[in-house]
Amino acid sequence: MSNSKQAELASAQVFSMLLGAVGLTVLPHAWNLSWDIFLGFFVLWSWRCIGVWRPRYLPSKALLFAVTLLSLGFLYSQHQGVFGRDAGTRIFVIALGLKLLEIKTIRDVQLTVNFAFIIAATLFLYQQSLLMAAYIIVVCLSLLMTLNAIHSKITDVMLLARCVGVMLLQALPVCIALFVLFPRLEAPRWAFLNERTLTKSGLSDTLEPGSITDLGLSDELVFRVKFTGSRPPPDELYWRGPVFSHTDGKHWTPSLSNKARRHPDDLRFAGNSYNYTLLLEPQSKPWVFALDMPASLAPNLVMNADYQLITTVNPEQRAEYALRSYPHYNTGVLPPIEAQENLALPQTISPEIKNLVGELAGFTQPPAVFIQAVLRYFREQPFYYTLSPPLMVEHPIDTFLFQTRTGFCSHYATAFVYLLRVAKIPARVVSGYQGGKLNAIGEFLEIRQADAHAWAEVWLAGQGWVRFDPTAAVAPERIQQGVNIDMQLASGTVNFSLFDAAAQHGVLAQWYQTLRQGWQNVDYSWQRWVINYNTANQASFLQGLGMQDMATALRWLLISIALCTFSIFVFLMRRPVRVPDRALRHYQRFLRQLARHNLVCATGETASAFAQRVGEQLPACRAEVEQITQLYLQCRYGKQVEVAQLQTLAKLAAGFKLKA
Amino acid sequence: MSGLGKFWRELQAHPRLSRFFLGEAPSKTAIHLNHRRIFIVPTRQGFGFLLLIVVLLLIGFVYNNNLTYLLAFLLIGLVIVTILHTFRSLSGLLLTLGSAKPVFVGERANLPLYIENPSQVKRYHLEVSLEEQVFVGVEAMSVQQVNVYSTTLQRGWHQCGTIRLTSRFPLGLFRAWSLLRFACPVLVYPKPAVSGLAFPEQASGEGQQGQARRGGVEDFYGLLEYRAGDAIKHIHWKSYAKAQGLFTKHYSHFQASALTLDYAYTPGYGVEERVSQLCRWVMDAEACGRPYSLSLPGLTLPPGCGERHYASCLQALALF
């Protein structure tokens, strides 16, 4: 029975809708695919478009076969294999282009629509922003409109869009229920599917302050932090990254032994704590930047011997960690190997440095006094903070301390540590991020690449490792206020946000700022609640709802789907109120208006008799009352009722006011 | 093989399942489509769509990609909504089969099917199929007539079989259908024999007289007031146009030369051939306006002429 139906040829309208929808689907891949694949697809697509109006230009079977072979050869020549995101997308896109050329029947159209849905899904493998999701909704709408056009024979595009739009809206409750409750299983990481992503700019695992003349800053987001409870003051916002213990005088690298050592267990905390969730953007290195000093570890995290958090899962995926940190802590004793590492200096120490340490009483006074003396030295001598320091190739520490005296955080931190080591005090450089910008709407901190920072840690007897930030001595605003990234990026110079940007630029800038923060807040929620809703998040969220295990969640899933379906069914099958009932409703409204003035229709009194009585008592309203009654009787009991009559009745009854 | 066929027939006739295969018992009145009468199954395209959802879920799983999951869930929701919409595209319709004009065996009966849509929702692209498919849309609050055709094979009362009303609206993922059987038989006249055999004038005494007169000019006998059953082509339209009333022209030989068509004197082998021959004579006699009587075993129709007489003769032949 259905053979004749399924061989039905697609009409030109269906074709143009399909081609439009498919074009929309593939378009964003311009950013993801190599240009030749993208171009190849759109050549095939255009060929098909021409074919809608000029069918004789479509390829014959032989030509199509040749084109297919050519495409296969082309794909093979790119040596990308068949597995993985890029290769898969490439194959699907070209296959879709070839399929377009041979579409004839309705069945082909339906197959192509399914194909296009898979292409739409591959778009999500490249970008998961809110905008992309909105775009995919449009793509879905256009693909489904094509299907609907086949099976409804509607030609009006707006009507089709409405029809499908309503259906998508009705599908939304089930979709949300499934999203929340459908069990998320952690997929094993397939080696062949892993893609090499672009190396992200970020913290490096070596530090070489002398070789940098211009610190490239970007406003690229690194992570976002939301505190539950109180937020620490700005001068406690040190996000710990790699620690540099080893130096040859120019390069600073992490301790050679920290991989071998376990972190000591005698880390003790004191005072208040901060609880927060950290949403880390994709990284190239497995470093998790926790607030100094992290106490409770989220799963998938380990702490190395330098108290730095390392993730055990793929850092190239966005991840969320619930953490707790204490600003006050004591790291306890220093193992001998660590003491040795953090005192080590290159063979030759210049006499100027020795002199300086001697001047600052480094060899005579206790460490605490010497440290204060060094900080005072930085503060009182003409040291300047800049992001574009001169190049210091040979003996960078000497050059910085005695000649240029300009630099950024890494210069100060390395020089500080160097001086302390000369004075036989264990010290090391810590890199990470400092500060962060508060999003007032979402109340979370955003930490960007430009917030990268380096500071020093000194081991003091009885206190353990203690943080000192020599940059704060030179430029305390850097620590107190943070960096004004917008200004810095615009002018290329350091600008601490002493004044609110809005105060300088007036109302418009303020609006812009609010709008931007609002959008960033939406984006944060999107990342946190949608993109990053994984196994762990789901478990904790469901536990918050009182669902302890997956079986309960599944039961609730079925219940909610049934409920949604039933409500939509009731909504779809509702009977419209019939015209006579609607007329009665309007008339009753009119009666209520009269009843306020003690004019009540007596039992048994007909509508016309009542109207006459009202007319006699209130001659001013007679015409209106009679008109309403007339219309009511017509609509309620008449045989042929026009919609206009009912509308007039509704308008009159609603606008009826007694005139004395 | 025959065992399987037998099983299949038994399955179809099973009291609980027959509704699914054959539809409800034939209805004399309008059929109201409700959940008892509407069946719904996924189409091939629907199964393809389910496969698509599985593929999307797999992509979401392998790449840990929540948005791909979300797309799959949206399509799952859409599938559920589509079931309801497909059901609604048939639900609530009122179907009536109009009476069809009698046809001769071998002709196709033209049955007018009235689809009434008493709801506010337009029904798009319904497929009505009996022997062939017709597509039709029904506006909200309106009635749409569709003509379905049924080939007749036997004289007598012809039941037109099961009409299937199908909808794949809105996305073609599901097919909702309803099987409609109406107790609305069509009268099927016998197949007329090939013309060529002369009227059976010799069958009665009056026949001779009629034969003698036949060669002569048909004499105008006079105008008589119209009586029901008179042939339309003998109506005297001129007097009717002058508003003098309805008169029929009568010819002198009419009274005399009434044909007697008797089953007993009809040549032919077997019942069907004789009935066919009688049918042909009735048609010919009606065509040239000669009165005729018909006698079948157990039934005799008096001589007469005109639409009504013609119809009752043919009916008698059809049901004999």
**What does the pLDDT read at residue A264?**
61
**What does the pLDDT read at residue A265?**
67
Minimum mean pLDDT range among A255-269, A475-489, B193-207? A475-489
The answer to whether A242 and A193 are in contact (CB under 8 A) is: no
Chain B residue with minimum CA distance to A108: B45
Q: Is B123 on the interface with A (CB under 8 A)?
A: no
Residues A277 and A140 in one domain: no
Helix locations, A185-272, DSSP H: none
**What does the pLDDT read at residue A256?**
74
For residue A399, pLDDT over 60 is answered with: yes
Which of A68-72, A328-332, B144-148 ranks highest by mean pLDDT?
B144-148
**What does the pLDDT read at residue A73?**
87
Please report, rounded to a whole number, the percentage of residues in chain A having pLDDT higher than 70: 88
Q: Is B133 on the interface with A (CB under 8 A)?
A: yes
**What does the pLDDT read at residue A159?**
93
Residues 194-213 of B with CB under 8 A from A: none
CB nearest A114 (choices: B52, B65, B74): B52
A:B CB pairs within 8 Å:
152
Residues A230 and A314 in one domain: yes
Mean pLDDT in residue range A76-82: 73
For residue A3, pLDDT over 90 is answered with: no
The answer to whether B131 and B218 are in contact (CB under 8 A) is: no
Q: Which domain holds residue A318?
A: 213-498
d(C-alpha B97, C-alpha B27), whole Å = 10
| Better pLDDT: A253 or B84 | B84
In single-letter form, the type of residue at position A256 comes to: L
d(C-alpha B207, C-alpha B200), whole Å = 8
Minimum mean pLDDT range among A191-195, B42-46, B99-103, B206-210? B206-210
**What does the pLDDT read at residue B58?**
92
d(C-alpha A136, C-alpha A142), whole Å = 10
| pLDDT confidence bin for A124, thresholds 50/70/90 | very high
Which of A43-57, A430-444, A526-540, B69-83 ranks highest by mean pLDDT?
B69-83
For residue B35, pLDDT over 70 is answered with: yes
Contacts of A105 in chain B (CB under 8 A): none
**What does the pLDDT read at residue A312?**
84
The DSSP output letter for A269 is E
Nearest-CA distance A110 → chain B (Å): 7
Q: What is the pairing mode between strands A294-296 and A319-325? A: antiparallel
* Domain residue extents for chain B: 17-187, 207-318
Residues 140-199 of B with CB under 8 A from A: 168-172
Question: In the beta sheet, which residues pair with residue B128?
Answer: B134, B165
**What does the pLDDT read at residue B2?**
64
| pLDDT confidence bin for B213, thresholds 50/70/90 | very low
| pLDDT confidence bin for B207, thresholds 50/70/90 | very low
Residues A151 and A235 in one domain: no
Chain A residue with minimum CA distance to B138: A152
Contacts of B135 in chain A (CB under 8 A): 153
Please provide the size of chain B in residues.
320
CB nearest A153 (choices: B72, B125, B129): B125
CB contact under 8 A, B45 and A110: yes
**What does the pLDDT read at residue B46?**
95
CB nearest B172 (choices: A124, A151, A565): A151
d(C-alpha A355, C-alpha A600), whole Å = 109
For residue A5, pLDDT over 50 is answered with: no
Does the CA dihedral A635-A637-A641-A643 come out positive or negative? positive
d(C-alpha A238, C-alpha A466), whole Å = 13
For residue A561, pLDDT over 60 is answered with: yes
Minimum mean pLDDT range among A370-379, A632-641, B280-289? A632-641
**What does the pLDDT read at residue A495?**
42
Mean pLDDT in residue range A103-121: 92
Chain-wide mean pLDDT for chain A?
83
| Better pLDDT: B226 or A422 | A422
Mean pLDDT in residue range B148-159: 90
Nearest-CA distance B306 → chain A (Å): 40
The DSSP output letter for A186 is P
Indicate the pTM of the whole model.
0.72
Which residues 6+ apart lie within 8 Å of A359 measured at CB?
none
A522 located within any domain: no
Mean pLDDT in residue range B167-176: 93
Boundary-marking domain end, from A107, A136, A155: A155
Q: Is B80 on the interface with A (CB under 8 A)?
A: yes
CB atoms within 10 A of CB A291: 25
**What does the pLDDT read at residue A602?**
82
CB nearest A175 (choices: B66, B74, B171): B74
For residue A560, pLDDT over 90 is answered with: yes
pLDDT tens figures, A161-218: 999 999 999 999 999 999 999 988 876 655 445 554 444 456 777 888 766 655 556 6
Mean pLDDT in residue range B132-137: 91
Please report, rounded to a whole number, the percentage of residues in chain B having pLDDT higher than 70: 88
d(C-alpha B19, C-alpha B8), whole Å = 14
Nearest-CA distance A144 → chain B (Å): 7
**What does the pLDDT read at residue B195?**
73
For residue B135, pLDDT over 50 is answered with: yes
| pLDDT confidence bin for B4, thresholds 50/70/90 | confident
pLDDT tens figures, B43-69: 999 999 999 999 999 999 888 889 999
Q: How many domains, chain A? A: 3
The answer to whether B117 and B152 are in contact (CB under 8 A) is: no
Mean pLDDT in residue range A393-397: 83
pLDDT tens figures, A479-531: 665 555 554 544 444 444 434 444 556 777 778 878 888 888 888 888 888 88
Residues A395 and A326 in one domain: yes
SS3 A463: coil
| pLDDT confidence bin for A2, thresholds 50/70/90 | very low
The answer to whether B219 and B266 are in contact (CB under 8 A) is: no
Chain A residue with minimum CA distance to B62: A187
Q: Is B47 on the interface with A (CB under 8 A)?
A: no
A262 located within any domain: yes
pLDDT tens figures, B228-284: 667 777 777 877 787 777 777 766 554 446 788 888 888 888 888 889 999 998 888
| Nearest of B70, B320, B19 to residue B177 by alpha carbon | B19
Minimum mean pLDDT range among A41-45, A430-434, A497-501, A615-619? A497-501
**What does the pLDDT read at residue A577?**
67
| pLDDT confidence bin for A132, thresholds 50/70/90 | very high
For residue B14, pLDDT over 90 is answered with: no
**What does the pLDDT read at residue A19?**
94
Residues A249 and A151 in one domain: no
CA distances to A25, A351, A370, A465 from A419, in Å? 61, 12, 10, 17
| pLDDT confidence bin for B23, thresholds 50/70/90 | confident
Token reading at B164: 């299937």
CB contact under 8 A, B71 and A85: no
pLDDT tens figures, A302-339: 888 888 888 888 787 778 888 999 988 888 888 888 88
For residue B206, pLDDT over 80 is answered with: no
CB contact under 8 A, B172 and A147: yes
Backbone torsion region of residue B83, taken as left when φ is above 0, otherwise alpha when ψ lies between -120 and 50, otherwise beta: alpha
Residues A349 and A484 in one domain: yes
d(C-alpha B183, C-alpha A515), whole Å = 70
